[in-house]
Structure 1
């Protein structure tokens, strides 16, 4: 996905059980994604956010 701040940085998050670190993705009945844990980009724009029910929640 692209960083939601608009900087244009591509964000790749491993979802496989074998990956470390990895993120959990849940999709509700309205097809809205929720990611856990938060996404924290340590390089570039340094954004830190959660995705909850399809919405970005900035930290």
Structure 2
């Protein structure tokens, strides 16, 4: 992943309501999706698991 892609990911994930991310293009969403509407990618994962998994 290039520096520009990493910076774009940081900017896109600034919204705390967006908790899911397309691993192909870095687009973020507030809801879990089957496919990315931006690139059509199928790998969408939760950005951060903090607060979801308890010790």
What TM-score do the two structures reach when normalised by structure 1? 0.27
Q: Write 1 or 2 for the structure with the bigger share of strand.
A: 1
What TM-score do the two structures reach when normalised by structure 2? 0.28
Q: Write 1 or 2 for the structure with the bigger share of helix.
A: 2
Higher relative contact order (CA 8 A, sep 6+): 2
